[in-house]
Structure formats: structure tokens, C-alpha cells
Amino acid sequence: MSRTALATIHLGALRRNLARARARARAQGAQVMAVIKADGYGHGLERVARACADADALGVAALGDGLRLRSAGNRQRIVVLSGPDEAGDLAELRRLDLDAVIHHEAQLRWLEADADARTLRVWLKIDTGMHRLGFDPAQVADAHARLRALPNIDPDIVRMTHFAASDEFDNASTHAQIACFDAATASGVGPRSLANSAGLLGWPAAYRSTNATNWVRVGGLLYGLSVVEGRSGLDFGFEPAMTLSTRLISVKAVAKGERIGYAASWECPEDMRVGVAAIGYGDGYPRSARAGTPVLVGGVRAQVIGRVSMDLITLDLRNAPSARIGDGVTLWGTGLPVETIAAQAGTIAYDLTCGMTRRVLFVEDED
């Protein structure tokens, strides 16, 4: 019997999630960038790109991701969200026909010193309150004019920003960021990009197109992951694109009062059946998952007991009296939102899907 932990990637769910996001964005006249950084949020860069063939553009974190996609034959518009890391990256960005986000004075100087005649598409990032990357609002008009003056820069420059708290639909800081962006870009027209996944759900004013094209950057929702605390992707109509599963490799009777696992941290409250599933933090299942974290055993809800170890977890089978060795165990995905596990582990769903190790076997499901 194989002990392999499986991450099943549901390609149909990816396509349907993208279609839902596009329908919502298109209703406001906006285009959609499918953000597939961090190896497609742990789902696999190339396979997610294939599933997102209908996206208006793809967003990646680094130049190397763009190289991987071009090497795989992808010809879509690809935006490198951190832009060039050094002046030498500009030639490769042009060679691969990648868009570059420009967020710092040093990058602007590299462009001004670059004599390459090949046209480069750029996005100008504005810091409206996230205080991570981007030009100060007072610098935006000058930076935009300097870019427009360069003959090897496509004049259709997308001005963009990043929301800090758009997942809180009543947070005044997002209103302030939108107002800051509008003020910083008031001197010119052109494409804009403010909304991320949470922006798509809760801030239509951030992507409603009037006299300019708007772009929505869809990340978590593409994978069916929630972008709002206490909610799952399903709550917003988006399907999980990953199911993590394994099998029971042991079932035994353990007496009342006996303790389970490392540090003997969990005591059996009665005579009970305990299962062992072949997965652990060596596969990417969170070590911080507390006792009581749910799993599905043969479709029936059970729970983790004791500490998660490197290769194994122990399960309370009192709710699954018919469970047997070889039965399937779902850790998250179809029937069990990953957000539920993340909450038990004190983290977010993105962290879990991005955390799968090389020991996990990835398989594709067209549905």
C-alpha cells in the first residue's frame, strides 16, 4: 500500500473560479490578472497557467517565474510584480516579453540609462498606505512623466497600488487608499489597478471602469481560498482547487487514561479506537495544528489528537467506528475547507497550500 500523501489539483475548479472572477470584473468593465506567484499558491505554476488560459494576464513574483512559463510555451501577457532586481534584468524582461512593475527610483534610473530599443511594458506602483513597495504619491506625476519620456517604454503605463486591509469591508483605510490613488493619478488618464481578490469582492469602486481600463489582480480566489477572516472561499462561491489526502495505516484500541503521541499531550477520555494517517509536517501538514483539528476519514469527520509529527498524525476515530486500514483521509479540500485547518493551526490558508513539500505527490483532476 502506498503511503504517499496526495495533493489533487482540480483544474476544472481553477477554470470555474477564474470565470466567476472575470464575470464579476467584466460587469464593471475591468480586466483580470490571474496571480500565480509562489508556484501558483502551491498548486503548480505551469499547471495553473494552463488552466488560466482565459485570463487577460498572469502575475508572477519574479523574473524566473516568467522564464519558466515562457519555456513551457506560455504566450500570455505576464507581469513581474516585483519588477527588475538589477539593471541586467531589463534585457531578459524584453527578451521574454514580460511586463515589469516599477516601484523604486533605482529601477527608474536603470530604465533611463538603458539604450535597448526594444519596447518594454511597465506598471507604475504607488504607495498609498501599504508602505511596502511603491512611489510616494508626491513622486508619482514625475515618475510617470519620466517613463512616458522614454522611447523604449510602452506609453500605455498601468498605474497600480496594493491594499493593506481590503479584506475588512468596513475598514476606512481602504477608502483612504482609493482617495490617495485618485489624487496621485488625477493629472492623467490611463489604465489602473487597485483591486486584489478582496477588492473584487468588497470594493467595486476600486475597479469600476469609467474613462480608463481597470485591472483586478485575482490571487486567493482563483484557488478557492478565502480572503476574509472567518469565511471560506465556498462562502463566496469559489471552489477549492486543492484536496490534500492520505490513508490510514494503523487502527488500534487504546484504553481510557492512556496518552497519545509526543510529550503525551492528549489523554484518552475512554476506551477508544485511534487511527494513524500517513502524513505529517514533513509533507507540509502544519505541526501547529491543535488537537481537535478536523479531518475526513472515509468521508466521516474525525479529529487530530496528540501532536503532529514529521511523518504521521493520530486521529480520534470515535465518530468513524467503521474506519479501517487503507481508508482515505482528507486533510483539506473538497468537503473540508482549508481555512478551517488554518484557523486551528494559527495561520492562513495561503500558508498551508504554499507549504507542500517534495514528498507530496501532485496529481491533476480535470473536474
pLDDT digits (tens, 9 = 90+) for 195-204: 999 999 999 9
Residues spanned by CATH 3.20.20.10 within the chain?
Answer: 11-226
Residues 6+ apart with CB under 8 A from 290: 304, 344, 345
Contact assessment for residue 316 and residue 292, using Cβ atoms and an 8 Å cutoff:
no
Q: What confidence score (pLDDT) does residue 2 get?
A: 64
Average pLDDT over residues 6-34: 97
Residues spanned by CATH 2.40.37.10 within the chain?
Answer: 242-365
Using DSSP bridges, classify how beta strands 328-332 and 313-316 pair: parallel, antiparallel or unpaired. unpaired
pTM of the predicted protein model = 0.95
Spatial distance between the Cα atoms of 309 and 9, rounded to a whole number of angstroms: 25
Spatial distance between the Cα atoms of 255 and 239, rounded to a whole number of angstroms: 41
The catalytic residues are 37, 262
Contact assessment for residue 137 and residue 183, using Cβ atoms and an 8 Å cutoff:
yes
Average pLDDT over residues 241-252: 98
Does residue 66 have a pLDDT over 60? Answer: yes
Share of residues in the chain with pLDDT > 90 (%): 93
> What is the SS3 assignment for 65?
helix
Does residue 213 have a pLDDT over 90? Answer: no
The architecture in CATH of the region 11-226 reads Alpha-Beta Barrel (3.20)
Question: For the chain, what is the largest distance between any 2 Cα atoms, rounded to a whole number of angstroms?
Answer: 78
Phi/psi region, residue 303 (left: phi>0; alpha: psi -120 to 50; beta: rest), is beta
Residues 6+ apart with CB under 8 A from 186: none
- Kindly indicate the confidence band of residue 4, based on its pLDDT and cuts at 50, 70 and 90: confident
- Kindly indicate the confidence band of residue 211, based on its pLDDT and cuts at 50, 70 and 90: low
pLDDT digits (tens, 9 = 90+) for 90-104: 999 999 999 999 999
Q: What confidence score (pLDDT) does residue 229 get?
A: 84
Does residue 61 have a pLDDT over 80? Answer: yes
pLDDT digits (tens, 9 = 90+) for 310-351: 999 999 999 999 999 999 999 999 899 999 999 999 999 999
Superfamily of 242-365 according to CATH: Lyase, Ornithine Decarboxylase; Chain A, domain 1 (2.40.37.10)
> Which residue from 61, 148, 143, 57 is spatially nearest to 97, judged by alpha carbons?
57
